[in-house]
Copies of this chain bind each other. A is one copy, B any other.
Amino acid sequence: MHWKNNLTALLGIQYPIIQAPMLGITSPEMVAAVSNAGGLGSLPVGNMDATAARAAIHKTKSLTAQPFAVNIFAYDIPISPEQTAFDAMQTLLQSTYSRSGLGVPVVDLKTLHLNSYKDILPVLTEENIGIVSFTFGIPDDAGLALLQQSGVKMIGTATSVEEAVYLEQKGMHVIVAQGAEAGGHRGTFMNNGLPQIGAMALIPQVVDRVGVPVIAAGAVMDGRGVVASLMLGASGVQPGSAFLLTNESMASGAHKAAIAASTDTSTRLTRAFSGRWARGLYNTLIAAVEESEIQILPYPYQDALTQPARKASKAQDNPSFVAMWAGQAAGLAKGQISSGDVVRALIAGAEELLPSLKVN
């Protein structure tokens, strides 16, 4: 099978397999393992400060000499919610934690420090990062100009044709088309509701409307998903859930066990954890927030408010308050395997399907 195409040439990689950036799950070790296997690892630094982002980049560089992408959350921080709304949500969450016997520090809205992607952009150019991917939108024009001047290849994330067309107009070199099947946060950034376009519908319609290479995201778990995505017109794929159970995944044991036991109908879209829509497995935190009908705070305030509980819950390997992001095919994920082996299995699976190509 012929793996060289416009995408691999542009990014300087061997195989058009891009590991999805999964903040809290993707370690530098995962990124390096994917890149060392000939794919493109993606290091998520969204919501980190510049120092932490630089440290993660240094760590990754120490593990691979191959190209990898750095992923940032390119959104403008909205104005602070009302203190009363913040308090109402915090009161609900604290009472839920207490009922579960989990001690979680209180978050103070007044002293809350929220990091901006703008602080990370200079780090990327200083560190000679060659590929940057964006979620929740793209940087402002000054930020885009900085990256463009440095020759950075930019990957935007779209959940609709309209978003994809906009991203190409703004100079993205590659567009990820994120199908509704995908686990984790929807990359949606236009204020027209929440597109839930399945990959089978989204990819060909995006490919028909943009000139840059398109990467398919959503439910790519094995060679079947790779080949299907390519047949729909994508130039590459961005699996995420396929890496959840790997040795390099930072998912807790409880999270991994829940993923392994999940089925096609186990996931839901929720705003309970972060204030943005994301797909994952149901648990105590989602139930508490959604059943309460208390107003969910806008991202990233809800995210900041649930962060200490996610950390405490994970430390105890308790799945109740961890954001167990998962796609609709996460149940197909293989465990006790390295992230490099996932890349190799995706390629081998695709090659097995293609040479013997026939209607089965």
Binding site for B on A (CB under 8 A): 1-6, 16, 160-162, 179-181, 192-193, 195-202, 204-205, 208, 218-222, 224-225, 227-233, 235, 263-265, 327-329, 331-332, 353-354, 357-360
Contacts and interface: CB of A to CB of B under 8 A. Distances in A.
Contacts of A1: 358-359
Contacts of A162: 263, 265
A264 B4 CA distance: 30
A314 B162 CA distance: 31
A218 B201 contact: yes
A205 B264 contact: yes
A198 B227 contact: no
Contacts of A196: 180, 196
Contacts of A199: 198-200
Q: For the complex formed by this chain, how many copies does it contain in all?
A: 2
A224 B233 CA distance: 7
A235 B328 contact: no
A228 B205 contact: no
A91 B227 CA distance: 52
A198 B181 contact: yes
Given A2-B359, A225-B232, A231-B228, A201 B264 contact: yes
Between A3, A195, A205, A354, the greatest number of chain B beta carbons within 10 A of the residue's beta carbon is seen for A205
Contacts of A231: 224, 227-228, 231, 353
Given A160-B265, A200-B228, 14 more contacts: A1-B358, A161-B263, A197-B264, A197-B328, A198-B198, A198-B218, A200-B200, A201-B328, A204-B219, A205-B264, A205-B329, A228-B228, A233-B360, A235-B360
A-B complex: 6 closest residue pairs judged by Cβ atoms = A198-B198, A201-B328, A201-B219, A200-B219, A228-B228, A181-B198
